[in-house]
Amino acid sequence: MDLGLTEDQEMLRSMARDFIEQETPRAFVRDMEEDDRGFTAEMWQKIAQVGWLGLIVPEEHGGTGQNLVDLGILMEEVGHGVMPGPLFNTALVTVAILDSGSDAQKAEYLPRIAAGDLIATAAILEPYSRLDANGINLTAEMSGGNYTLNGTKMFVENAHAADYLLVAARSGGSGEDGVTLLLVDARSQGVAVEKLKTIATDNQCEVTFSNVSVPAANVLGTAGNGWEPLRLLLQKGAALRCCQMVGALQEVLDMTVEYVKNRVQFGRPIGSFQAIQHYCANMATDVDGSRFITYQAIWRLGEGLPSDLEVSSAKAWVSDSAQRVAATAHQCHGAIGFTQEHDLQLFTRRLKAWEVSFGDGDYHRERVAQAMNI
Amino acid sequence: MDFRFSQEAQTIRDEAEDFVTKEWQNPGYDLTGGLAGWHGDEETREAGHEVARQFAKKLVGRGWYTMHWPSEYGGQDASIEKQLAYREVMSYHDAPAALGGGLVAPVLMVHGQEWQKQLFLPQLANADIEFAQGFSEPDAGSDLAGLKTRAVRDGDDYVVSGQKIWGTYRNDWIHILVRTDPDAPKHRGITYLLARLKDEDGNYMPGIQVRGIQDGTGNHRWDELFMENWRVPANNILGEENRGWYAAMTTLSFERSNIGRPAQLLRTLEQFIDWCSRVRDEGGDTPIDRAEIRHRLAEWRVRVETLRSLCYRVGWMQSEGMIPQKESSMVKFAGDELFQHIYRGLAQIMDGYGNLLPTNGPRFSLPDDNFLPARGWQSIGTSIGGGTREIQKNIIAQRGLGLPR
């Protein structure tokens, strides 16, 4: 049993932290909240240059061929620095192409992703916003070598900036049968993207598909059998989101500990009061629990082991504990933490969004119950 | 990163699993967690104690009882991971003992005089002796270093007067912390003694009086120990005079992951689910057909899983030569809280059945081997004993996070 990071992973972590502090400092994060695109082309190119877009892309396709745990460690740092931009989304589509793509698709898309020339995001949820197979109703009708897509996808992160959309569509059947995954050129005729305003300013989009024509060659995996790979992709998405949340939670804890050490009331640092100390102890325990339950999940996924119970345990725990930690952090910070000028809100708002991303506590507790055979 | 057990640890898991399912049957007394049975009956309690001792003897026979000890004292220098893997299995099966020697063994190994080592370590290793523990006092609980039991040197003896509490003083021997220098700062005036509580005939030594304490359910669980001019040979000192506090902190490389807690809770959940499937109402529904109960069970499973990952973290740190501190406090208090939380919830779901005592006999065949309400009561005590939840949080905040005192 080894719960630590390898030397290479430690190096990845420390380089990521340095890069994010330097290239996307908090002032930049704030600027990007006001920015229509939410990130800059310059920043994206730098991310490509340091190799993050090709992190899990095999060397033959222009990447460095690292594994899912490595990607998780990177996501932890992305969360720690609340780094803006579509890295998470592009990485998740990269995972999907690696898991389900044909050799030709890998050769076509992966080098472009690694080079920073292709931004992608997954379009899964629909207006009804449910994460099971019955929630996928956007139609994909086959005729003459093309699929025609009609329907609406909701909460598609960074779709406004995407070159490609990984769309979960229904090509027939019902339930888990008849789900088809397609890589759709976001500039196809009939694709309309509307940005939604959210509490997290996290660039969620509504994407409508009106008679969008997609070549059959763009089917990822086999047509009609997309549910199983999608299910796995949702698990990996949940685990990677947990990694991102763990990074953010660690920073929220560190920020709070620093604050209570220095904030003086009644002639002494408030961190010397036991009420505050016990809040901090609770936060630290929540954060560490989140970290190791997440590591267990991402490691199992990376190893290809059955992970239903572990992934859902992680997301259920992290989703809930994130809200506890953020609320406690605010309590410790008092009024200043409630202001825009303080950085805490940058985290609280995102943690709120990530709580429900890839399923909230209730959703995952139901999945845990299923995994327990009850 | 690798959450798999090593080959060695996996082997001991398999062996322990095989052994414990064959060799351990709960006799109808709850022998874990210091709870010797839900009854005031001394005879049954002694019988339960004997069952536990016999099981420990079997572990001695397998060579497992002191696997964590250094080889120079007959142990196997078992790795932390092996200890943890083994303890997880034994705790899951609710076996009453796993790794022997208690708190006193490492102190003996490091600080003991030769005669003490030769006399006590083999007996401890064979499960032939148990020491009573004389640490807590009426006015020294969380603030243990404030203990007042006084030992004054008189010729070849210490003359000891004072009071200890929250132990069971039925053993022949006690390991006890006493104050030898009342003027020194509190941690620096304490001496560690090994002393006879009873003579060879089983009678308490002159100056010793013991009085039982019942817990809130009438269970004789602890004793009070009164000492008045009790003479203890000065040669019984363990370590140096006035250095007893530091000797008591000796732990050696014994695993301290608290892995037994999630293991035991996991089994309880499994037994409860099994019980639910046997309890059907007129419509054929079981309690787990109710969504709110299903989700509570799932939530508990998630929390057990999270706790276990934190326990593994403590074990892993120890394996790496790191010293877990706030990490140990986390698994202690989080484990205690979860213990209470789950048992409260289970008792609610079971309605009146959740209040039935094991002394009703086996006819109800309730989860947790009929101990559910007994352990539910026990769970109140666990977040106090061994360092209260609040003390653990102080440790996390002050020593772990560096908050000012």
Please indicate if any CB of chain B lies within 8 Å of the CB of A363: no
| Smallest CA–CA distance from B322 into chain A, residue | A4
What's the pLDDT score for residue B46?
A: 78
With CA atoms as reference, report the closest residue to A241 among A314, A178, A304. A314
DSSP string, B86-146: HHHHHHHTT-S-SS-STTHHHHHHHH--HHHHHHHHHHHHTT---EEEE--BTTBSSSGGG
What's the pLDDT score for residue B39?
A: 52
Shortest alpha-carbon distance between residue B84 and chain A (Å): 11
Q: Do A366 and B298 touch (CB under 8 A)?
A: yes
Q: Do B306 and A276 touch (CB under 8 A)?
A: no
Q: Which of A288, A303, A310 has the most B C-beta neighbours within 10 Å, making it the best mutation to test the interface with B? A: A288
- The CATH code belonging to domain B7-99 is 1.10.540
Shortest alpha-carbon distance between residue A331 and chain B (Å): 16
Please indicate if any CB of chain B lies within 8 Å of the CB of A13: no
pLDDT digits (tens, 9 = 90+) for A144-196: 999 999 999 999 999 999 999 999 999 999 999 999 999 999 999 999 999 99
What's the pLDDT score for residue B15?
A: 98
For B77, residues 6+ apart whose C-beta sits below 8 A from its C-beta are B69, B70, B71
**Long-range contacts of B50-54, Cβ-Cβ distance < 8 Å, separation of 24 or more:** B51/B27, B51/B96, B52/B96, B52/B97, B53/B127
Mean pLDDT by 10 residues, chain B (405 residues): 97 97 79 49 77 92 96 95 97 89 94 97 95 95 95 98 94 97 96 97 97 84 94 97 94 88 95 87 87 95 98 97 95 97 92 80 77 84 90 97 96
Strands B173-179 and B131-134: parallel
- Boundaries of every domain in chain B: 7-99, 131-248, 260-400
Chain A, 230 to 259: residues with Cβ < 8 Å from chain B are: 257
d(CA B136, CA A222): 68
Burial of A283 (0-12, 13-18, 19+ CB in 10 A): buried
pLDDT digits (tens, 9 = 90+) for A252-299: 999 999 999 999 999 999 999 999 999 999 999 999 999 999 999 999
d(CA B18, CA B113): 39
Q: Comparing B7-99 with B260-400, is the CATH topology the same?
A: no
d(CA A31, CA A330): 23
Please indicate if any CB of chain B lies within 8 Å of the CB of A272: yes
| Smallest CA–CA distance from B269 into chain A, residue | A372
Q: Do B81 and A1 touch (CB under 8 A)?
A: yes
Q: Cα dist. A367→A132, A302, B296 in Å?
A: 11, 20, 13
> Which chain A residues contact residue B81 at CB under 8 A?
1
* B9, B309, B390 member nearest A292 (Cβ): B309
What's the pLDDT score for residue B365?
A: 78
Q: Do A369 and B294 touch (CB under 8 A)?
A: yes
What's the pLDDT score for residue A122?
A: 98
* B276, B297, B403 member nearest A277 (Cβ): B403
Q: Do B316 and A310 touch (CB under 8 A)?
A: no
Question: Class assignment of domain B260-400?
Answer: mainly alpha
Which residues of chain A, if any, have pLDDT below 70? none
Fold of B131-248: Butyryl-CoA Dehydrogenase, subunit A; domain 2 (2.40.110)
Q: Domains in chain A, start-ordered, CATH in brackets? A: 7-118 (1.10.540.10), 122-225 (2.40.110.10), 228-371 (1.20.140.10)
What's the pLDDT score for residue B36?
A: 43
What's the pLDDT score for residue A50?
A: 97
